[in-house]
Chain A
Amino acid sequence: MFDGPEPIYLQIAQMIRAQVLSGELQEEDQVMSTTQFATTFRINPATAQKAFGQLVEEKVLYKRRGLGMFVAPGARDRLQAEHRARYFDEVLAPALAQAALLDISADDIVAYVRGHRPAGGSSAAWEETS
């Protein structure tokens, strides 16, 4: 866990953001304490503290005095909006650049996207926009 190249506190923050986005962590859910984090993942408690500090600043988490850290109301919506804005630049653009290198046409890509519905949930919304 947390073996990536970035500073560990950034990787921890990223993991918690991903858990909030996926719904694994719901609003008002309590997250692990810094001590639990430190002993579970064998990291310095101050490193976990730094990640939590950043997430509090981003309003993903908030602190209840004496109780611990909780997922902030509206955290998931905020994260979605933010990640949506970056999706095209950071995820799709490199994939399309790779497709261009491989001579994959835009038509092929569109056909693949249309034939490939995400599992469950929002398929109705998907049909409307496609």
Chain B
Amino acid sequence: MNPLPPFTARFDDVEVTFPRSWEMGENGVARRVSGSVALENITCEFPAGQITGLLGRNGAGKSTMLSLLAAFRRPTRGAVLVGPDGDLRDPWEDAALTSAVLVVQEGGDVLQDEKVEATFSYYADLRPDWDPEYARELLDLFEVPLRKKASVLSRGKRSALAATLGLAARAPLTVFDEVYLGMDAPTRFAFYDALLADYAEHPRTIVMSSHLVEETERLFENVVLLDRGRVVLAEPADDLRTRVTSLTGPTAAVDHLAAGRDVLHRQHLGPTTRVTVHGPLSDDDARAAAAAGVTIGHEGLEGLLIHLTRSSREGTGDGGTTAGRPLAGKESHR
């Protein structure tokens, strides 16, 4: 059987709200929890055959967004569509589609009380493009024992098992949702290398959510940045590396160059000023900077993420791990 072509995934004005509910308080008394908006106005695309990084802080809505792709949940409003180009459909209760979409969450979906090999045969039945030999190779690479129960594995080994399942299933849309959690650095890099090598040989659509930006940014062709349930940007990764720039030099010259720009941060060190600005510099700007003794530095993707998500969070508390903002008078949407 020929493997399916890589899938595109599209979000069209998607909203997810968690309904009002009850939870048990500290003293055993139930209390009402107001509903919250997890995702709002999400419109973006994970292009077919490319590796996209989904970045954002804890609680930004990354996992909620990714679970929509596998039809683990339905959007409250809007449409989520997946499939080969030209044939995008709603994955909800569509067995053919969902067997081609694999969302790997931390620890993976494994048979906890069975040996690892039992999980493998389960995936072999469920996933049309499952490669059993490759799966065993990866287990060797990550040093995960095949004849142990998944429940006795360490956190790092369970993550490695989850990564193995994600890679060996070769699903046309493969999503790794913070799958590296608990892996040590050598294992993480072995995972990145395996991912690139297998992706080059078996092209498919890959989405990786991550907050280890520096470590993973070079794997990405595209980046979607999520903040508090909204898409802040969705662009080719290489363009973003030079988006946040620092200008360091004599105060007057720096101020002149920074005039009219979106200044994110300003620091004075005696006669020297350092400003961080958002937005690319033209070649003329670069020449003017060099002539005035101003040094240009790039803050990379990590710098961009920190600046873009910090400025929009000012004056708010931390949203926790899953919840977004309180739902202000929008209960009627349910």
Give residues in A with beta carbon < 8 Å to B.
2, 5-9, 34-35, 38-39, 41-47, 50
Contacts and interface: CB of A to CB of B under 8 A. Distances in A.
A9 to B, nearest CB: 6
A26 B160 CA distance: 42
A11 B319 CA distance: 39
Interface residues of B, number: 22
A42 B297 contact: no
Nearest to A33: B200
A7 B242 contact: yes
A39 B50 CA distance: 16
Say whether chain B's binding surface is mostly helix, strand, loop, or mixed: helix
A45 B201 CA distance: 11
Given A9-B238, A38-B196, A39-B200, A44 B189 contact: no
Contacts of B196: 38-39, 42-45
User: Which of B201, B238, B298 gathers most chain A CB within 10 Å?
Assistant: B238
B200 A34 contact: yes
Contacts of B241: 5-8
B239 interface: yes
A44 B219 contact: yes
A56 to B, nearest CB: 18
Contacts of A34: 200
Nearest to B201: A35
Interface string B215-237: 00011110000000000000001
Interface string B151-174: 000000000000000000000000
Nearest to A10: B238
A38 B200 CA distance: 8
A42 B189 contact: yes
A44 B51 contact: yes
B217 to A, nearest CB: 9
Interface string B194-218: 0011011100000000000000001
B154 to A, nearest CB: 25
11 contacts: A5-B241, A5-B300, A6-B241, A6-B242, A6-B298, A39-B197, A41-B218, A42-B192, A44-B221, A46-B50, A47-B221
